[in-house]
Structure 1
Amino acid sequence: MPFIDYYKILGIDKKASEAEIKKAYRKMARIYHPDLNPNDKEAEKKFKEINEANEVLSNPKNRKKYDQYGENWQYADQYSKQNQQQQHYRKQYGNQAGFESGSHDFSDFFESMFGGGFSGSQFRGKPQFKGQDYNAELQLDIKDVYQTHKRTLTINNKNIRLTIPAGVEDGQVIKISGHGGPGSQGGPNGDLYLSFSISNTTQFKRDNSNLFTTVDLDLYTAVLGGETTIPTFDGKVKVKVAPGTQNGTQIRLSGKGFPVYKKEGHFGDLLISYNVILPKNLSKKEIELFTELSKLAKHEH
């Protein structure tokens, strides 16, 4: 299999930061996404390479291995362990165990890993390696995660049917076992790490399972009390307003917030801050009444 330069695939420098890698991946993925290039085999191949490059370079540990071992980065841990074993047996047995003096390059290592090379029984057979872990990002709207729902993702040309739990948060990462790359020599598949990018264009600010919003309240209801209609995430409700409600007063509606992650039927609270609106363009009669109220207030004090 020819070597693929992941940095070149994403069009970035080897010193690129994590943010630059993420930005480059998103840019390239948009260009070559299968939905935008139907029946284009070259674009499909390029999109697969872009995802593969991102899966490696966006993971600091895997990126370090890739920078050191190149195309053989997945076997870095085994190579390091094998090298330690070689050094141990050299010290203990010299060349009696079938070791050559001097250094061993990657090709020697892989020859020994897959059946050739060493005569010692501890090196017989073919070790099993877990497949490569994949990383993917799913972009959703906050309304999408208000209820549990199912969604089909296409990862490396494979459709994966997932249940997205209500209450998933922006930036949250979940592990989906066995949906990564295939293992080698009969080893298990890798895992899929799915991160969520959740946009929010609603009037509600989210903090875990609680929601926050500001609601305008007319002066007369604030002073005299009464009722007002409050918007919630799933509809409107009427609430009572206490007489003398001040600007900035906050009330809490229990259970009217966002779903609690993986706790079916549990919701956070909705916290509402009142913004008392002063009347404008008063009529002559209103001015007279406010003037009278002002005189009464001064007289009482």
Structure 2
Amino acid sequence: MDFIDYYQTLGIDKNATEADIKKAYRKLARKYHPDVNPGDKAAEQKFKEVNEANEVLSNAEKRKQYDKYGKDWKHAEQFEKAGAGAGQGYTYRPREDTGGFGEGFSGSDYSDFFESMFGGSAGGFRQGGRSVKYRGQDFHAQLDLDIRDAYKTHQQVVTVNGEKIRLTIAAGIADGQTIKIKGKGGPGANGGPNGDLYIKFTIRNDTGFHREGDRLYANVEIDLYTAILGGEIVADTFDGKVKLKIPPETQAGTKVRLKGKGFPVYKKEGEFGDLIFTYTIKNPTNLSAEEKKLFEQLKNLR
């Protein structure tokens, strides 16, 4: 297996921080995403490479193994077990042409590695007289959603290592939430189970609503006269409009709660949180001389 420089793939150096890795991955994932480059095989391949690099470098343990063992980092556990377990159930028969750990296998492939290091067949090694199965690698991906998409249950297709996976995303998914898709990770070895796929969601919000869990918050502006005398206004909710009755002498900062007008409750069909409005008062501007005179009269009356 040829060595792949994951740092070079993401355009970062070996001293990159976790934040550097995340920033580089997001930039490249957006650039090469199949939805942005439909039918572009080169972009699709680049997208796979970027995801593979992020999968390794964003995981502290995998990154440590990669830095230590290079192209053979996936076999780090076997290397370490071999070094620690010789004479304890492992058949360890080093050969002259192995070239040493961390320096490749002198042209030998994955099968030769198991055969030379642990004895047994190319399908895996044997420990204590039984064949050992290996669970596949877990995959990690990130999916960006607009808050309007997160408001409703919908389907999306994501491409992971060349495989298209159709997801049903429940309304109310939260920013930073991670879901697991069982068996959609890397393939197992020697009959072991596949790994799992973990997808982390980031929610973009460019609306006038602030979300906290299943509650929504927004400011509603009312004019001075309505605030003083009372009346009705029409305000926007997340999925429509609503009439609000304003009591006389309403103060700035007054809050009103609209039950069930907030965000959907995750995986609870038909349930919604509340919407909290905070009133702000808009003072009149560009007053005429007569209007100013009337305000002066009101001031004197008070």
- Does TM, scored on the shorter chain, surpass 0.5? yes
Q: Which has the larger radius of gyration?
A: 1
**Are 1:200 and 2:192 counterparts?**
no
The corresponding residue for 1:76 is 76
Unaligned runs of 5+ in 1: 90-96
What TM-score do the two structures reach when normalised by structure 2?
Answer: 0.84
- Provide the rounded CA distance (Å) in 2 between the counterparts of 1:64 and 1:267: 44
The letter of the residue matching 1:3 is F
**Are 1:248 and 2:247 counterparts?**
no
The corresponding residue for 1:239 is 244
The letter of the residue matching 2:281 is V
Map 1:80-99 → 2, pairs under 5 A: 80-86=80-86, 88=88
Asked if structure 2 preserves the Cα contact closer than 8 Å seen for 1:79 and 1:109, the reply is no
Match of 2:133 among 128, 132, 141: 128
What TM-score do the two structures reach when normalised by structure 1?
Answer: 0.84
Percent identity reads: 56
The corresponding residue for 1:9 is 9
Segments ≥4 residues shifted beyond 6 Å: none
- Provide the rounded CA distance (Å) in 1 between the counterparts of 2:126 and 2:33: 49
- Provide the rounded CA distance (Å) in 2 between the counterparts of 1:182 and 1:130: 8
Farther-moved stretch of structure 1 (186-195 vs 27-36): 27-36
Structure 1 residues 205 and 40: alpha-carbon distance in aligned structure 2, compared to 1, 3 A threshold:
closer
The number of equivalent residue pairs is 288
Asked if structure 1 preserves the Cα contact closer than 8 Å seen for 2:235 and 2:241, the reply is yes
Asked if structure 2 preserves the Cα contact closer than 8 Å seen for 1:226 and 1:240, the reply is yes
Report the aligned-residue RMSD.
2.9
Map 1:127-206 → 2, pairs under 5 A: 127-206=132-211
Residue 17 of structure 1 deviates from its aligned partner by: 0.7
The corresponding residue for 2:33 is 33
Residue 20 of structure 1 deviates from its aligned partner by: 1.1
- Provide the rounded CA distance (Å) in 2 between the counterparts of 1:181 and 1:70: 19
Map 1:33-52 → 2, pairs under 5 A: 33-52=33-52
Instruction: Provide the secondary structure at the position in 2 that maps to 1:68.
Output: helix
Residue 188 of structure 1 deviates from its aligned partner by: 1.1
- Provide the rounded CA distance (Å) in 1 between the counterparts of 2:87 and 2:235: 73
Query: After superposition, what is the alpha-carbon deviation per residue over 1:125-159, rounded to whole angstroms, capped at 9, x for unaligned?
Result: 54221112111111111000101111111112211
The corresponding residue for 2:108 is none
The letter of the residue matching 2:254 is T
Farther-moved stretch of structure 1 (39-48 vs 108-117): 108-117
- Provide the rounded CA distance (Å) in 2 between the counterparts of 1:98 and 1:195: 41
Query: After superposition, what is the alpha-carbon deviation per residue over 1:76-127, rounded to whole angstroms, capped at 9, x for unaligned?
Result: 33443444332647xxxxxxx96569xx95469733457269xx97454542
Farther-moved stretch of structure 1 (80-89 vs 190-199): 80-89
The corresponding residue for 2:296 is 291
Query: After superposition, what is the alpha-carbon deviation per residue over 1:147-187, rounded to whole angstroms, capped at 9, x for unaligned?
Result: 11111111122111111011112222211111111112221
Farther-moved stretch of structure 1 (22-31 vs 4-13): 22-31
Query: After superposition, what is the alpha-carbon deviation per residue over 1:237-292, rounded to whole angstroms, capped at 9, x for unaligned?
Result: 11221221111222222221111222222222211111111112234443343233
- Provide the rounded CA distance (Å) in 1 between the counterparts of 2:207 and 2:240: 13
Farther-moved stretch of structure 1 (121-130 vs 135-144): 121-130
Query: After superposition, what is the alpha-carbon deviation per residue over 1:44-96, rounded to whole angstroms, capped at 9, x for unaligned?
Result: 3332222111111111222122222333333333443444332647xxxxxxx
Asked if structure 2 preserves the Cα contact closer than 8 Å seen for 1:183 and 1:189, the reply is yes
Asked if structure 1 preserves the Cα contact closer than 8 Å seen for 2:120 and 2:126, the reply is no
**Are 1:110 and 2:114 counterparts?**
yes
Unaligned runs of 5+ in 2: 106-111
Structure 1 residues 88 and 115: alpha-carbon distance in aligned structure 2, compared to 1, 3 A threshold:
closer
- Provide the rounded CA distance (Å) in 2 between the counterparts of 1:293 and 1:286: 11
